[in-house]
Amino acid sequence: MIRNPILPGFNPDPSIVRVGDDYYIATSTFEWFPGVQIHHSTDLANWTLVARPLARADLLDMRGDPDSCGVWAPCLTYANGLFHLVYTDVKRYGRTTTGGASGASLRDFHNYLVTAPSIDGPWSDRVYLNSSGFDPSLFTDEDGRQYVSNMLWDHRPGRNRFAGIVLQEYDATVRALVGERHLIFKGTELGLTEAPHIYRRDGYYYLLTAEGGTGWNHAVTMARSRTLTGPYELHPDRYILTARNRPDAPLQRAGHADLVEAPDGTPWLAYLCGRPLPNRGRCVMGRETAIQPMRWGDDGWLYTLAGDAMPVLAVEHDAAPPEPRQERTRFDTPQLPIDFQWLRTPEPDRIFSLTARPGHLRLYGRETIGSVFEQALVARRQQAFCYTAQTRIEVAPAHFQQMAGLVCYYNGTKFHYLYVSHDDAIGRHLAVMSALPDSPQADAFTAPIAIPDGAIELGVEVDFERLRFRYRCEGDADWTWLPQLFDASILSDEASAPGMANFTGAFVGVAAQDMAGTAMPADVAWFDYREREYAA
């Protein structure tokens, strides 16, 4: 049985490829480093995170990239004995056509290509492709020639910002795009045309795109042509997968898809989706990845099995049962455990160490939480509506500009942060800072709670939109709950000031700040993450 989403939590913009009996899915990571997540499976049901290839400064440096910028929509393909990975690094998002948004419509995005003989690398130096738009995709034709397609961004007033899909040949010998750029598809009236992928089958070139934006109107559009540069005719149903007109669907926001063929010839569609909170309608886990089998009709067009273009929660399929997840992470290896990431910087030694104190993750307090340059925040994805997380931290802040603790984080404008700090009046204390994206008060602090010196355990319980913190000082047998109930639904794409980019998902982890610039250390002994049923 396949249960969707197959990649729960923040795993958007899937690109899928099969090499022999192995399937790989690459997903976007935005400002989280290293860039691009790659999962592996042999049965399409059970997926294991195996690589994040953009792990070197010469491949990716996102310092200064705004929230929800950085790595957008990777495309993973395989040809000529090499994996090919193309991706966008977005440097400026701007504010566009959203009501109430301020700022200009100019954007900066740069598209690159890297290759490797194995999914484990080594990955080549990056090749610069273009900056004309985002969501680049590589297509290798039957004659071996290669082409890059991407959406075209048009900033001019009165124009369609998403101006269509452009195509240009890539020459691997000169490591550059060559020849004329062709506008091959202008999209449908749904608009926001992006995420192109091209396939060849039975004499046709098939073009898959995403339209309607990555929210509730999201859809997968298909078109085809006898020639690569078009003209492309639309699928008779236009949209081969969407939940845009079905508010009852448990998987919403379905779109941004990629197609792969199984050894038995079955076409499978991997696509982006979101699971809204039952009460709030917000997708706290961000955009996730689902998959389902499709069928080619007698007319040569692609359809869902039921012919209704609907995403499905479960698929009957031979697969082994999933393995139980390990709840406790111990920091006893020289590399950060693969479930965890940090933000933007390709110089992790400046924000944490796994060797300075063996068996611990040592954070070095840097800039403020929410900094787009250098902040010490290490976290993992929230992957279920209900979970418990807790950690043990040793930190000795000397003043109010130093702090460290447990954080539930979406981005610099959306988080709940249970931190240990110090001030002259109360001494060492515990408090919560919340960044509230849809409140007149941008940030809020709870009253400080005095705590003794020594190690402290910090915990959080999340049940759908409800979030509560607790703590236990060294020597205490029982946990102490903070009295406040926090809103977990703000850690979502939908909670936002007008015009902001919101494309990631909720994380939970640890952080440290030292706004005095003295790099205060904070030592984390372990981190627990346990998914569970709803706790009344």
What's the pLDDT tens digit per position in 338-351? 999 999 999 999 99
Q: Over 80: is that where the pLDDT of 442 sits?
A: no
Q: Over 80: is that where the pLDDT of 324 sits?
A: no
What's the pLDDT tens digit per position in 410-425? 999 999 999 999 999 9
Separation between Cα atoms, residue 193 and residue 213, nearest integer Å: 8
Q: Catalytic site residue 374?
A: yes
Say if residues 256 and 14 touch (Cβ distance below 8 Å): yes
**Active-site position among 233, 261, 327, 374:** 374
Tell me what the pLDDT averaged over the chain comes to: 95
Helix (H) or strand (E) holding 164: strand 162-171
Share of the chain above pLDDT 90, in %: 90
pLDDT for the residue 102 = 52
pLDDT for the residue 98 = 54
Q: What are the DSSP E strand ranges found in 354-455?
A: 361-364, 376-381, 386-395, 402-411, 414-423, 427-435, 443-445, 449-450
Separation between Cα atoms, residue 189 and residue 205, nearest integer Å: 22
Separation between Cα atoms, residue 25 and residue 13, nearest integer Å: 10
Nearest to 114 by CA among 132, 136, 93: 136
Write the CA distances from 260 to 53, 82, 266, 267, 421, integer angstroms: 21, 17, 8, 6, 51
Separation between Cα atoms, residue 200 and residue 224, nearest integer Å: 9
- Confidence label for 97 from pLDDT (cuts 50, 70 and 90): low
Q: Over 90: is that where the pLDDT of 37 sits?
A: yes
- Which single residue is written with the structure tokens 């990975």? 85
- Confidence label for 104 from pLDDT (cuts 50, 70 and 90): low
Please tell me the least confidently modeled range out of 50-54, 324-328, 478-482.
324-328
pLDDT for the residue 89 = 98
What's the pLDDT tens digit per position in 266-291? 999 999 999 999 987 899 999 999 99
pLDDT for the residue 99 = 52
Nearest to 369 by CA among 459, 441, 460, 435: 435
Spatial neighbors of 346 by CB under 8 A, at least 6 apart, are: 33, 55, 56, 57, 60, 61, 62
What's the pLDDT tens digit per position in 447-457? 999 999 999 99
Separation between Cα atoms, residue 373 and residue 430, nearest integer Å: 26
First to last CA, the chain: 30
Say if residues 135 and 208 touch (Cβ distance below 8 Å): no
- Confidence label for 322 from pLDDT (cuts 50, 70 and 90): confident
Q: Could you give the dihedral angle defined by the CA atoms of residues 30, 32, 38 and 43, in that order, rounded to the nearest 10 degrees?
A: -90
pLDDT for the residue 500 = 85
Write the CA distances from 128 to 70, 86, 177, 181, integer angstroms: 15, 10, 9, 16
Say if residues 214 and 205 touch (Cβ distance below 8 Å): no
Say if residues 75 and 198 touch (Cβ distance below 8 Å): no
pLDDT for the residue 499 = 77
Write the CA distances from 83 to 26, 230, 241, 260, 469, integer angstroms: 11, 27, 28, 15, 44
**What mean pLDDT is predicted for residues 295-321?**
94
**What mean pLDDT is predicted for residues 99-104?**
54
- Confidence label for 326 from pLDDT (cuts 50, 70 and 90): confident
- Confidence label for 406 from pLDDT (cuts 50, 70 and 90): very high
- Confidence label for 323 from pLDDT (cuts 50, 70 and 90): confident
Q: Over 60: is that where the pLDDT of 396 sits?
A: yes
Share of the chain above pLDDT 70, in %: 98
**What mean pLDDT is predicted for residues 247-276?**
97
What's the pLDDT tens digit per position in 117-155? 999 999 999 999 999 999 999 999 999 999 999 999 998
Q: Over 60: is that where the pLDDT of 101 sits?
A: no
**What mean pLDDT is predicted for residues 476-493?**
96
pLDDT for the residue 497 = 81
